[in-house]
Homo-oligomer: A and B are copies of this chain.
Amino acid sequence: MKLLLTLSFDGTNYCGWQIQPNGMTVQQRLTDTLTQILGSRPTVNGCSRTDSGVHARRFCCDFIIPEGKEHMSDKLMHALNALLPPDIAVLSCEEKPDSFHARFDCKGKEYRYNIRLGTRSPFTEKYSYPYRRDIDDELCRRALTCFVGEHDFCGFMSAGSCIKGSTVRNIYKAELLRNGNDVTFAVSGNGFLYNMVRIICGTVLAVNEGKLDADSLPHIIDEGKRMLAGPTLPAKGLFLWDVFY
């Protein structure tokens, strides 16, 4: 029987989602805990690979609960929440057809990048990028709008990243939200390249600072050269906000 888990995690103390040899990851912590509960080690498929330090308000993953253990699925969420550390929570657990796959069946995702203006706050320190200047909301909104639609984003992925297949992605929405000194860039789309959201947000801030012209963004996107875009912002401001199926 296949189960879909929806998680929420604080990525501060993890080397991202995917299991790797040199540090603790969310996938490893979850797989270890499932092994402890089920008595055998499941293969857990995540909806994406989040980077080291990136947070998730929602993150989806699937695994097969072994035959003879199906009766445990009802209590699995409570057992996981009792055993997982405080920085990972299970929000829901639902049954899916065997053909379901958390990554391949994902229709889209929303990421949010938090920027903190003015004096720093101890409570948002781990969850936002401190920015020393003002933000021109209208200018940044104009810049964000340039990314909406279907584009080849090969200039907006980290150099050296290895992508199989197309670098064309469809961005559904790219908005600026403001709550006083807290500014958020919300970007949703059918998929994202490695570091793509952090580079888009760094490019919008380069426009805000007058280092790039908003009118040149369509051209910069078309050119497809990483060096023309803005910097990659730090991981800690980034949240995987929602996952759509």
Chain A interface residues toward B at CB < 8 A = 8-10, 55, 57, 81, 86-92, 119-123, 125-127
**Residue in contact with A125 in the complex, picked from B86, B91, B127, CB distance below 8 Å:** B86
Residues of B contacting A9 in the complex (Cβ-Cβ under 8 angstroms): 122
Docked Cα-Cα span, A127 to B10, in Å, equals: 14
- Copies per complex of this chain: 2
Establish whether residues A88 and B122, one from each chain, have CB atoms under 8 Å apart when the complex forms.
yes
CB distance from A34 to the nearest CB of B (A): 18
Q: List 7 additional A-B contacts (Cβ < 8 Å) besides A8-B122, A87-B125.
A: A10-B125, A55-B123, A81-B120, A86-B120, A86-B122, A89-B121, A91-B119
Residues of B contacting A122 in the complex (Cβ-Cβ under 8 angstroms): 8-10, 55, 86-89
- The dominant DSSP class at the A interface is mixed
Docked Cα-Cα span, A81 to B119, in Å, equals: 9
CB distance from A5 to the nearest CB of B (A): 12
The residue on B at minimum CB distance from A91 is: B119
Docked Cα-Cα span, A89 to B127, in Å, equals: 15
Docked Cα-Cα span, A10 to B120, in Å, equals: 12
The residue on B at minimum CB distance from A57 is: B123
CB distance from A238 to the nearest CB of B (A): 14
Residues of B contacting A123 in the complex (Cβ-Cβ under 8 angstroms): 8, 10, 55, 57, 127
CB distance from A140 to the nearest CB of B (A): 25
Residues of B contacting A121 in the complex (Cβ-Cβ under 8 angstroms): 8, 89
Closest 6 CB pairs of A and B: A10-B122, A86-B125, A87-B122, A89-B120, A91-B119, A89-B122
Residues of B contacting A55 in the complex (Cβ-Cβ under 8 angstroms): 122-123
Residues of B contacting A89 in the complex (Cβ-Cβ under 8 angstroms): 119-122
CB distance from A91 to the nearest CB of B (A): 5
Docked Cα-Cα span, A86 to B120, in Å, equals: 8
Docked Cα-Cα span, A81 to B121, in Å, equals: 10
CB distance from A114 to the nearest CB of B (A): 11
Docked Cα-Cα span, A153 to B126, in Å, equals: 38
Residues of B contacting A88 in the complex (Cβ-Cβ under 8 angstroms): 122
Docked Cα-Cα span, A121 to B87, in Å, equals: 8
Residues of B contacting A90 in the complex (Cβ-Cβ under 8 angstroms): 119
The residue on B at minimum CB distance from A12 is: B122
> Which of A9, A86, A122, A126 has the most CB atoms of chain B within a 10 A radius of its CB?
A122
CB distance from A2 to the nearest CB of B (A): 21
